[in-house]
Amino acid sequence: MNVAEYKEFDGLGLADLVASGEVNATELLDAALKAIERDNPAINAAISNLELLARKPVEQGLPDGPLREVPFLMKDDEFLVEGTTSTPSCRLLESWTANHDSTLTGRFRQAGLNIVGMTNVPELAQQPTTEPLLRGPTRNPWDTNRSAGGSSGGAAAAATAGLVPIAHATDGEGSTRIPASCCGLVGLKPSRGRNPSGPDRFTLAGGTICPHVLTRTVRDTALVLDAVCGPDTGDPTICPPPVEAFRDWVGLPPEPLRIAVAAEPPEGLSLDREVDTSFSKGCHLLESLGHHVEPTHPNLDTRRLMNAFFDVCSADRWLFLHRVAAVLGHTIRASGFEPTTWDFLQRGASVSGEAYIDAINVFNAPSRTMGTFHEEWDLILSPTMASIPPPLGRMSSGDPMAVARREMTAFAPIANITGQPSISLPLGRTEDNLAVGMMFTAAIGREDTLLRIAGQLEAAAPLPRLAPPKADRKTGWPEVWMSSSRNENFLALVPQTLDGGRADRNHPVPARNLPQRGMGRLSNCGLVIGRSLDVNVVVYNESEGNCANLFD
């Protein structure tokens, strides 16, 4: 099987080839690794090569699950893969090696998925765009000057580029649905408690984070949900079990649904013209399919909710980091983080126990409001984002209420707060062929309704979901762009283009080849000094408080 043939199939399609004996696990693994080798450098989606770990189950025989031998990428976040380093793009965690699989990881394996690598995330998975200084930005395969979204941006870019058909994702502020919208994928955030988060933590960020996958087809999304759903032992939050297999709902057209259209963005924002156009076309399509579509929305105090949301999430991340740092013997200080991350952590450090409990209690009211609302309305429809995928480098402020961030997270986080299932579907394209997502949200436990409408729309309005490969003269897995030294003083460098994006890396200078002295908060440097062809390199020495041109 060559790379082009491999990319033609979704996960179930590849599994069917395996079941029929047309291909075997070694051929699939080789095709995936060749796809990554050839196409990943242009998008920087996969950041850790687990080929040796992937070869072992192939030799021993993978479990006989519904996706047996299908290549798969894990998100570099809190869901652990035994024997691998999990950093969330944070230098402080570079020596954090997992000694066990997370429950969800084990269920992915039992489904037959073969983990071949890890995907890129923003530092500590705290941004709706994937542009970490540690590993560089992930690029949108449809336009490599634009964001692939975040925090599951690496996963989205990998699936869209065909590196794998299915990639692990998590959704804490729209972190699955936003990348799905940016890259033209199916992105489901399941109901709270549907998929396990253990065994290390009962809940993630007050139950706002829900894990699942990003896929190119609705049937893959449903099939993985069947394979991994259900509580872990002792889980405090358990979602009602499905009446039937989720896969069985795909392709079964729903009866006419009552769909509430909530397309008004939060105060101070407006919909991008092309988002508005695509959204209007989507509403007309739904009406043509027999659904009742009407502008209305639940009455929510979104500003109060979002303030409570950021209190809970920042405090959770601060506590998590302190615990891991204590185990690793590290000290938490500003110079070890990107400025936006440090600002977020400082907010978490300032949240008192009383304020945290108050914030959790704030979550209670909208959950009940939504429950009542869904007694009349089957679904809530909104754009996934208020904007098209933004240019790389635009997300420079750590303020969660900054305009650029709010445009990307204008609609998605409410479902994280209430625990509802929500799905982004690729139902629109801009004039420049960028993807535009539409987001459907259902009552808790009603993923079946989402999958039925998703399957119907997928058949009625098929759009391209596999981006063509981008030319890049380098091949292989990305280099680590910062020294891994633990020394207090070491040199770091940032490749940049003149507009603030990442260079194409035709002339990289690995940090390991440089003297180790002084690591600073690089964006505070504020200068682009020196130029070698199309690559600018900034070197910032914090201990000396200056910048230097690498090519003097």
| Contact by Cβ (8 Å): 261, 295 | yes
Handedness of CA 411, 417, 420, 422 (dihedral sign): positive
CB 143 within 8 A of CB 389: yes
**Of 228, 200, 197, nearest to 98 (Cα)?**
200
DSSP-derived 3-state class of residue 327: helix
* Gap between the Cα atoms of 549 and 517, Å rounded: 15
* Residue 471 DSSP label: P
How long is the chain?
552
Sheet holding 546-549, edge to edge: 493-496, 536-541, 546-549
Q: Measure Cα distances from 17 to 1, 14, 20, 108 in Å.
A: 11, 5, 5, 19
Q: Quote the CA–CA distance of 165 and 215 in Å, as a whole number.
A: 6
Query: What is d(CA 3, CA 116) in angstroms, rounded to the nearest whole number?
Result: 15
CA distance 312 to 321: 14
Cis ω before 151 (30° cut-off from 0): yes
Query: Could you tell me if 172 and 204 are in contact, meaning their C-beta atoms sit under 8 angstroms apart?
Result: yes
CA-to-CA dists, residue 243 to 249, 258, 383, 441, 517, angstroms: 11, 22, 29, 19, 60
Residues whose CB is less than 8 angstroms from the CB of residue 142 and which lie 6 or more positions away in sequence, other chains included: 160, 183, 184, 389, 433, 434, 435, 467
* Three-class DSSP category at 489: strand
293, β-bridge pairs: 259
Which residue is it, tokens 């039992």? 110
Phi, then psi, of 212 in degrees rounded to 5: -165, -135
Rounded-to-integer distance, Cα 110 and Cα 64, Å: 7
- Cα–Cα distance for residue pair 472/505, rounded to 1 Å: 9
Q: Could you list the active site residues?
A: 75, 151, 175
Question: Peptide bond preceding 199: is omega within 30 degrees of 0, i.e. cis?
Answer: yes
Element (H, E) at 262: none
Asked if 387 contacts 420 with a C-beta cutoff of 8 angstroms, the reply is: no
